[in-house]
Structure 1
């Protein structure tokens, strides 16, 4: 195999110059002709830098790895709320990009008879798994005693042991409420869902973090009204039904924070049927920023979550672990406010300047 010295002799330059050119040292002052001559000689002699050789070695070792994806959502739940679907697609896309094709997907109903996780080199767990009632959690626990090659997405059971990729739901919720409060809304309702941890026929229902942080912030502001909180499932149909319930109760809030874009689209439909205009009569900020949010009957102001990037980051963390990293890392993916029509900010701005 060719060395830097061999390339230097053919290109008639020093070995240090060859090294700096091939490693893209931008501080090196050398003519473009000399740079191209060095690169051409390296290609002709089939030279590979240390970084390139390391990447090829990692790719070869990764190709034979078996990775499991544990997804605590059914196919139907994925389709009704694309949050977890996008995360899974991010995982699968990154696996393909890394030449890692030996992946297996497991859903809750696949665990009736358990699964020998010991056959896998690593696991990516998407969504919460109940420590008390989920049998697979015990299998994961046993697997984790032997290996640390488990990455959790959307929550972290133990930051001292495992890698995780998460969203700061408190910051995201406050971002939505900051925006609505800044526009002068005082009466703000919440439409959301519970988190369900399940295995087989067993399930445990818990408050969603967006609901928890919504209540916390509204209480701090002295504006919390429990009667304006509506809870169902993360589906378009439940968003529709919950908004219909809110309309029937009269005294509709001036604005709503809705925990998912599909629920918000359903809520928009209910308001439209009742001839309640968004945003002049009711403002909405939702969550996730799926493609549908841009094309809703009134385009949705929403908190953008980089869901596919969460999946890709999980794969990178797992491969990094498999390559020897011992220290666990928690990555908090930032969110951002995407302002469109449904919050009424344009109307408020016009009123300010009129």
Structure 2
């Protein structure tokens, strides 16, 4: 960004004079030719005053009255059990507030019936998975739709997603690279809720784990468990695995909430994490770092996903017609639960001593 100092150097005036001219200081006595020269140089160099930059960040006046709906494809109970979607929603709400978009309405899919989204809402941010046919049933007046955590017709709609397959493979490679060969899976079901009914989707973490481990010749059907994305089911599924008397050396668990429940079941049976069983999970919710054994987990920038959804919607309202799909990167946060942190530190120390 061009600075006052750079403009002053090119215009051959003092920093103070340039600053006061650009900020429209009415108490400054300066020749009109001087003022115009400074303004021309600033314009040529692409400089924008603080007032101009603030104005650019503000939504157009008509946008402040534009209604944006937020459709949540999960129930209140699911949001309470796993803060993944809660964090996305908070990101949406915070970005709307930041941009002065106060005219938003919140809907939950399981509470909607046909045509229940009010007719004055033409713009919708959808959080979660929903069949496009069902969306057509509940609203037929939508002009702009942004999907978060799911893609529907990427040639038509904007979306903000993560690469679940890539993230899952990174987590599994981390375990395999540290000599865990017997790796189990605990995960949940992706569902769509409407009018009391449920439609199940294939969870990419689950399918990726199965395909990846089968390709490696390491898939163990007896250590592959699927329930709901809750702490309670994480607890029950690990408890079931313990009762089978065939515990894996490590588990990839598809959410932090389930992992916390699973660790409780292990601790009740006097198994230590990571000494007896290593765990890598997914999401990196705030609680992950404060669990009884801090969780190694795939960090998902959930709040940023929500903010990006709003930015894409605002961009659409400003006239963009080409659909955009944004893939937000993830990273593996290594803590104590995988049992590799000390190994990594030891290798690092060895290298430092030897260097």
Q: TM-score, normalised by structure 1?
A: 0.85
- How far the C-alpha of 1:38 sits from its partner, in A, is 2.1
Conserved? CA contact 1:59–1:98, under 8 Å: no
More off after superposition, 82-91 vs 222-231? 222-231
Unaligned runs of 5+ in 2: 27-38, 40-47, 351-355
- How far the C-alpha of 1:129 sits from its partner, in A, is 1.1
1:175 to 170, 180, 185: 170
More off after superposition, 290-299 vs 28-37? 28-37
Distance in 2 separating the partners of 1:53 and 1:304 = 32
Conserved? CA contact 1:124–1:152, under 8 Å: yes
Distance 1:317 1:76, change over 3 A: same
Conserved? CA contact 1:127–1:153, under 8 Å: yes
**1:161-172 residue pairs with structure 2 within 5 A?**
161-172=156-167
Q: TM-score, normalised by structure 2?
A: 0.85
Distance in 2 separating the partners of 1:184 and 1:26 = 58
- How far the C-alpha of 1:76 sits from its partner, in A, is 1.4
Distance in 2 separating the partners of 1:117 and 1:24 = 48
Q: Which residue of 2 aligns with 1:66?
A: 67
Q: Which residue of 1 aligns with 2:334?
A: 339
2:21 to 41, 55, 61: 41
Distance 1:137 1:264, change over 3 A: farther
Q: Which residue of 1 aligns with 2:77?
A: 76
Q: Secondary structure at the match of 1:189?
A: strand
- How far the C-alpha of 1:51 sits from its partner, in A, is 5.0
Q: Deviations over 1:6-25 (max 9, x none)?
A: xxxxxxxxxxxxxxx9x648
Q: Which residue of 2 aligns with 1:308?
A: 303
Distance 1:263 1:59, change over 3 A: same
- How far the C-alpha of 1:351 sits from its partner, in A, is 8.2
Q: Which residue of 2 aligns with 1:12?
A: none
Q: Which residue of 2 aligns with 1:115?
A: 116
- How far the C-alpha of 1:112 sits from its partner, in A, is 2.4
2:183 to 178, 188, 194: 188
Q: Which residue of 2 aligns with 1:30?
A: 9
Distance in 2 separating the partners of 1:246 and 1:310 = 34
Distance 1:137 1:190, change over 3 A: farther
1:322 to 295, 317, 333: 317
Distance in 2 separating the partners of 1:53 and 1:270 = 53
Unaligned runs of 5+ in 1: 1-20
Distance in 1 separating the partners of 2:16 and 2:237 = 66
**1:219-234 residue pairs with structure 2 within 5 A?**
219-234=214-229
Conserved? CA contact 1:117–1:143, under 8 Å: no
Distance in 2 separating the partners of 1:335 and 1:350 = 23
Distance in 2 separating the partners of 1:26 and 1:243 = 63
Q: Secondary structure at the match of 2:70?
A: strand
Distance in 2 separating the partners of 1:116 and 1:266 = 37
Conserved? CA contact 1:130–1:198, under 8 Å: no
Distance in 1 separating the partners of 2:57 and 2:338 = 50
Root mean square deviation of aligned Cα: 2.5
Question: How many residues matched?
Answer: 326
Distance in 1 separating the partners of 2:259 and 2:321 = 42
Mapped pair 1:91 → 2:92: yes
Conserved? CA contact 1:191–1:256, under 8 Å: yes
- How far the C-alpha of 1:110 sits from its partner, in A, is 3.0
2:258 to 246, 256, 263: 263
Q: Deviations over 1:70-108 (max 9, x none)?
A: 001111110101010000000000000001100000002
Distance 1:299 1:33, change over 3 A: farther
Distance in 1 separating the partners of 2:298 and 2:88 = 16
- How far the C-alpha of 1:341 sits from its partner, in A, is 0.3
